[in-house]
């Protein structure tokens, strides 16, 4: 494997893309794959595609592809629905596993939707559960024998701070709690070993570092030794043991199949399956090393050229995912100006300028060019224009 693999992506000319941590770019060949699928499968086979083109098996087949990247055993990952749904499934199952405990532990660096789903589930269960949210650095100390489930996003979406997965999982298990990891900012970015860490659940999305496209389906991993005992809270017909028997009563399917809910997004899964082909050529250790080199270069050059910015990410690369964040009071306007000048990052309130580093299509020259443009925008106050200050719906 030689990085980067720029020829494997259809990036617009003149753009330096530092936002793959939010939406990955279009992999080369995906457009043709999706066009062929719609023409030759949906168009030619109509409803026969569920059988002759393997649509019904897609969620598990692609799940195994994702499983290889997150170190999960074959048959323990399934695709479908959104990340919010998968969080709900994992957390509801975890609370069933610990009926005598009432605390769900998370941290303030968790992505808000995970917390929203926990709050909603707790409210509707109405069994006396409570969501306890602590600072990221206080998670381990807060795990005790009152905790039913520890629900943590591995890499902080704002700062890129990365939790020690093995240590926190081990602490949760010593306390008798169930462990749930959100891998939205980890899958395809940093090495993950779900089998090795032994966590009961992992969930994640595929439109970031896995380049599945906007709205690409989420995934859920369940440790194989516990999946057979899960009574799914969302008893969808495709999680049924025999969906086309159309029984009036629900019987959960075998293994990870019971975590399926609704009809799989076949076209989106076709795009993701084509995008996943690149990972057959990628060594995650090499990818991680390249990511660290690019991130370290970016930090050094920004701090030398942009004194108004303050590093928000951990300085130690071992504690950081594949993104770097800087604080700047006028961060939103500065990011809009940067995008207008051909460098795409993003902004997270209240003052975070966020940059993702994906060695699949970025190199050292891209980093230096991006810093040069950023420095000019800040030095010449090019951000101080009404069109850059006007807040758009998506930041």
Do 209 and 299 have their domain in common?
no
pLDDT tens for 217-251 read 999 999 999 999 999 999 999 999 999 999 999 99
Of the candidates 262, 279, 296, which is a domain's last residue? 279
Q: For the chain, what is the domain count? A: 2
Do 341 and 296 have their domain in common?
yes
pLDDT of residue 341: 98
Task: Give the catalytic positions in this structure.
Answer: 111, 182, 207-208, 354
Residues 6+ apart with CB under 8 A from 181: 152, 153, 154, 165, 169, 194, 199, 201, 202, 203
pLDDT tens for 2-18 read 899 999 999 999 999 99
Do 219 and 330 have their domain in common?
no
Distance CA(362)–CA(356), nearest Å, equals: 10
Residue 48 covered by a domain? no
Do 237 and 375 have their domain in common?
no
Do 129 and 16 have their domain in common?
no
Task: Show the domain range for 328.
Answer: 6-27+283-389
Residue 297 covered by a domain? yes
Residue 155 covered by a domain? yes
CATH of the domain at 189: 3.40.640.10
Residue 36 covered by a domain? no
Distance CA(202)–CA(182), nearest Å, equals: 6
Distance of CA 216 to the CA centre of its chain: 11
pLDDT tens for 174-191 read 999 999 999 999 999 999
Distances (CA, A) of 349 to 211, 220, 353, 388: 24, 28, 9, 15
Mean pLDDT of 357-385: 97
Of the candidates 228, 251, 279, which is a domain's last residue? 279
Do 15 and 65 have their domain in common?
no
Residue 39 covered by a domain? no
CATH of the domain at 343: 3.90.1150.10
User: Which of the four pLDDT bands, split at 50, 70 and 90, describes residue 322?
Assistant: very high
How many other CB atoms sit within 10 Å of the CB of residue 44?
12
Helix (H) or strand (E) holding 151, with range, is strand 147-153
The pTM score is: 0.96
Do 191 and 299 have their domain in common?
no
User: Which of the four pLDDT bands, split at 50, 70 and 90, describes residue 395?
Assistant: confident
pLDDT of residue 235: 93
Of the candidates 224, 257, 279, which is a domain's last residue? 279
Residue 361 covered by a domain? yes
Do 252 and 385 have their domain in common?
no
pLDDT of residue 394: 86
Q: Does residue 84 carry a pLDDT above 90?
A: yes
Residue 271 covered by a domain? yes
Distance CA(46)–CA(281), nearest Å, equals: 34
Do 230 and 349 have their domain in common?
no
Distances (CA, A) of 107 to 96, 156, 163, 254: 22, 10, 11, 33
pLDDT tens for 18-43 read 999 999 999 999 999 999 999 999 99
pLDDT tens for 260-269 read 999 999 999 9
How many other CB atoms sit within 10 Å of the CB of residue 294?
24
Do 273 and 339 have their domain in common?
no
């Amino acid at each position: 494997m030689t990085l980067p693999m720029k020829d494997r992506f259809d990036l617009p000319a003149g753009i330096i893309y530092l936002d793959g941590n939010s939406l990955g770019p279009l992999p080369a060949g995906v457009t043709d794959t999706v066009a062929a699928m719609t023409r030759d499968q949906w168009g030619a086979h109509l409803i026969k595609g569920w059988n002759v083109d393997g649509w019904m098996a897609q969620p598990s087949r692609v799940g195994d592809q994702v499983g290889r990247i997150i170190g999960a055993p074959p048959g323990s990952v399934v695709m479908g629905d959104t990340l919010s749904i998968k969080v709900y499934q994992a957390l509801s199952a975890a609370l069933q596993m610990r009926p005598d405990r009432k605390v769900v532990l998370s941290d303030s660096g968790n992505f808000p939707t995970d917390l929203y789903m926990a709050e909603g589930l707790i409210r509707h269960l109405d069994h006396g559960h409570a969501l306890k949210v602590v600072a990221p650095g206080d998670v381990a100390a807060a795990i005790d024998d009152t905790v039913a489930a520890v629900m943590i996003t591995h890499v902080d979406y704002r700062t890129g701070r990365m939790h020690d997965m093995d240590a926190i999982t081990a602490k949760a298990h010593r306390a008798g709690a169930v462990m749930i990891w959100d891998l939205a900012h980890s899958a395809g970015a940093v090495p993950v070993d779900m089998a090795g860490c032994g966590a009961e659940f992992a969930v994640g999305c595929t439109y970031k570092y896995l380049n599945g496209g906007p709205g690409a389906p989420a995934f859920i991993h369940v440790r194989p030794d516990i999946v057979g005992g899960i009574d799914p809270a969302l008893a969808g017909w495709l999680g049924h043991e025999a969906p086309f028997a159309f029984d009036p009563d629900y019987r959960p399917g075998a293994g990870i199949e019971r975590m399926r809910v609704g009809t799989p997004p076949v076209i989106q899964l076709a795009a993701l399956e084509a995008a996943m082909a690149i990972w057959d050529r990628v060594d995650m250790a090499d990818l991680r090393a390249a990511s660290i080199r690019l991130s370290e270069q970016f930090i050094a050059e920004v701090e030398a050229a942009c004194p108004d910015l303050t590093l928000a990410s951990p300085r130690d690369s071992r504690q950081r995912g594949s993104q770097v964040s800087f604080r700047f009071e006028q961060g939103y306007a500065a990011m809009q100006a940067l995008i207008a000048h051909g460098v795409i990052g993003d902004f997270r309130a209240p003052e975070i300028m966020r940059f993702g580093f994906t060695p699949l299509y970025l190199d050292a020259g891209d980093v230096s060019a991006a810093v040069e443009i950023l420095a000019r925008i800040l030095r010449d106050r090019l951000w101080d224009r009404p069109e850059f200050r006007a807040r758009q719906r998506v930041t």
